[in-house]
Copies of this chain bind each other. A is one copy, B any other.
Amino acid sequence: MSKFAVLGHGVVGSGTVELFLKNRELINSRQGTDLELGYILDIREFPGLSYSDKFTKDINDILNDDEVTVVAEVMGGVNPAFDFVLSCLNRGKSVCTSNKELVAKKGAELIAAAKAHNCSFLFEASTGGAIPIIHPMYTSLAGNEITAVCGILNGTTNYILTQMIENGTPFDKALSEAQAKGYAEKDPTADIEGHDANRKICILSSLAFGRHVYPDWVHCEGISNITAEDAAYAKSNGYAVKLIGSVKKLPDGKILPMVAPRFVPLSCQLAFVSDVFNGIMVYGNGFDEVMMYGKGAGKLPTASAVLGDIIECAKADGTILSCTWEDSADNSFIADHKDDTVRMYVRCSGSSTQDIEAAFGSVDFIKADGINGETAFITAAMPEKDIDAALEGLCSRVINTIRLLG
């Protein structure tokens, strides 16, 4: 028998227990496992549950029980989660986590601890909720060199942007709707400023390129300056607007991770990922491109990913290899996004089309119904720093700029 423990009985923790108890027989018969729930760690009391006898307030009950071979950490936050996880790994117990902050900030250290103690540290649920993305990257796609990853990694902002583009809803109203539906928190900063997507692109970047990318090293922009007018320009000209977490390998070997809103052309599958759904596109030198799509958050969807990892650990004997990356001493392998070549959507006023073409060369001028007194255009592909310089030289009032994807 393999017993597993769950650290934290919040939304994801209670979902993990619920899903396991619902599907236990099917799992154990189909997967060849003999999994049982051993403990749930929480400082709160949960009387009256069918599994109330499993609760403990003392991590040592879990650490000292040799029958516990797998621990799911679903508490969130770095402390005390990090200490608990490290203690489990140091005892040779595999750990699965949904905690993106923990993985983004401490992943390399915890992976190393797992290897040192012949156990595994898995985190499918940390990125993309229910969507299989971490596991396919180190298994099914393992024969490839990954060249780029880009995705809609945050459901809250995708809901807001979907309302803005489909219904012309202004940003503030779309945010209020998201809060009313429980998709956004009272303090929505982590979502709308891109911090949540940042942690996830750090995890995907580290996995794809083998070196830990820390959140502070990633250029990160949110969506709070996107207006209904920007959404109208996008919709009228064959684009969606999405908050995209992306990373790509450049010819000089550096990588460029970034979080920023993008105009996404309808030729890209991500343009059709709407509402609270997430979609993650991966590019590689054999498979070309694949996209994984599904629910990026929620009780049972996230629990599904945690439980998949628990089963994987229970079936494995020793460290699950290659869910792995090395720590990075510095960020010298991260490129400056200002050196990257992009196409840019620009809205400005006070400049003639002649002025604009003098500054940028040939551009695509675009229009949207009911928006007057300004000029909008999309530049050719050029280094971002050259776009900055051209905008500077134009001396007009720049209302907004948004990068195109691809």
Contacts and interface: CB of A to CB of B under 8 A. Distances in A.
Interface of A: 15, 19-20, 22-23, 26-27, 30-32, 124, 130-132, 135-136, 138-145, 210, 269, 272-273, 284-295, 298, 300-301, 303-312, 315, 317, 321-322, 324
A144 B321 contact: no
A334 to B, nearest CB: 20
Contacts of A284: 304
Contact of A311 (B19, B143, B304, B310): B143
The 7 closest A-B pairs by CB, nearest first: A143-B307, A132-B140, A286-B304, A290-B294, A130-B287, A132-B136, A287-B304
21 contacts: A19-B285, A22-B285, A26-B145, A30-B322, A31-B142, A32-B321, A32-B322, A130-B288, A132-B292, A140-B309, A141-B304, A142-B312, A143-B310, A269-B293, A286-B307, A287-B300, A288-B294, A288-B298, A288-B301, A315-B321, A317-B317
B295 A293 contact: no
Contacts of A141: 132, 304, 308
Given A142-B30, A269-B272, A308-B141, A294 B289 contact: yes
A286 B19 contact: yes
B293 A293 contact: yes
Nearest to A320: B315
Contact of A140 (B288, B303, B308): B308
Contacts of A15: 286
Given A272-B269, A294-B291, A286 B312 contact: no
Contact of A30 (B20, B136, B210): B210
* Central interface residue in A20, A26, A306, by most chain B CB within 10 Å: A26
B311 A286 contact: no
B310 A132 contact: no
A132 to B, nearest CB: 4
A51 to B, nearest CB: 17
Given A23-B286, A272-B269, A293-B291, A124 B140 contact: yes
